[in-house]
Amino acid sequence: MALSGFFSRLKEGLSRSTQKLSSGITAVFTKRKLDDAALDELEELLIGADLGPAAAKRVIAAFRRTRFGDDVTDEEIKTALATEITTILDPVAKPLVIDRGHAPHVVLVVGVNGTGKTTTIGKFAQFYREQGFRPMLVAGDTFRAAAVEQLQIWGERTGAPVVSGKPETDAAGLAFTALERAKREGIDLLLIDTAGRLHNKTALMDELAKIIRVIRKLDPTAPHSVLLVLDATTGQNALNQVEVFQDLVNVDGLIVTKLDGSARGGVVVALAEEFGLPVHAVGVGEQAGDLRPFIAAEFARGLVGANV
Ligand SMILES: Nc1nc2c(ncn2[C@@H]2O[C@H](COP(=O)(O)OP(=O)(O)OP(=O)(O)O)[C@@H](O)[C@H]2O)c(=O)[nH]1
Ligand SMILES: [Mg+2]
């Protein structure tokens, strides 16, 4: 899909956040000029659009320093707002770089159930195959039988081999076997799926720790990327999920999914402000081609409803 197509998709998805913000901005600034009361209202609008208090405050502080003329239009305000939001997002907009030198680069994909881990792995397989890499998928969510099947379908769809075991197989053992095989077969990229929900947090922590411990027997530098998948539609809850998973594992980067749906895209700004973790890619649909690099300026413009 062309970038413009992706952007309109993202814009569509962001429409819930956008509409509220965009009409809010228009309402605030058709009434009066950019005085303190108007800025306070704008700050509230930003918080209401999931940007979080810290990012909203930062944007407004920058706005206060800017000398807008009395005849500033709401369109100019939106453009300026997009520029400030871009400043927050730019440092985290980093694609996932796969290092062939690791042979393979091991990616552990984690997140609560239903956020889009398995789908994201399928999309990654497609994306990196198109870039000339050889990915292999590991059905490390051995907790649910359907999860294995789901990953196998992604394997068929993308032409990537899938390593799986019987239900209830030990996930760490499976990851070990997969890494051995990947090394033998000259795979560049090993994508390990994990269970989103185990019996409790301790069980999940033990499971992830064991996977990491075991694959390190074959490659002490693995995993090379631990990616946390977040569902944008959960809004502020995504922030709690980062905290929970940072307690469990060393999270290297984020993937934010479901930005096509009734997304609450503002949360990406809150995530950037609070954690500064790289946002490698965003999900804008359920198909193989629906994973896109995260581009700060376009995202910011889509969020506030500024014209491109
Ligand atoms: N619209 C939309 N749907 C998505 C996106 N990513 C994933 N989904 C859908 O969300 C649902 C859950 O995705 P999964 O990939 O199964 O999520 P998971 O994290 O692996 O879930 P568990 O295995 O239960 O932990 C599926 O119906 C996906 O098709 C996205 O970017 N946009
Ligand atoms: Mg899954």
Asked whether 278 lines ligand 1 (CB < 6 A), one says no
Give 159-208 as a 3 state SS string.
CCCEECCCCCCCHHHHHHHHHHHHHHCCCCEEEECCCCCCCCHHHHHHHH
pLDDT over 90, % of the chain: 67
Per-residue pLDDT reduced to its tens digit, 193-217 = 999 876 688 888 999 999 999 999 9
Q: How far apart are CA 297 and CA 27, in angstroms?
A: 24
Q: Is the CB of 265 under 6 A from ligand 1?
A: no
Q: What's the gap in Å between 7 CA and the centre of ligand 2? A: 27
| Ligand 1 neighbour 115 (Cβ under 6 A) | yes
How confident is the model over 153-192, as pLDDT tens digits?
999 999 999 999 987 889 999 999 999 999 999 999 999 9
- Look at residue 4 in the predicted model and tell me its pLDDT: 53
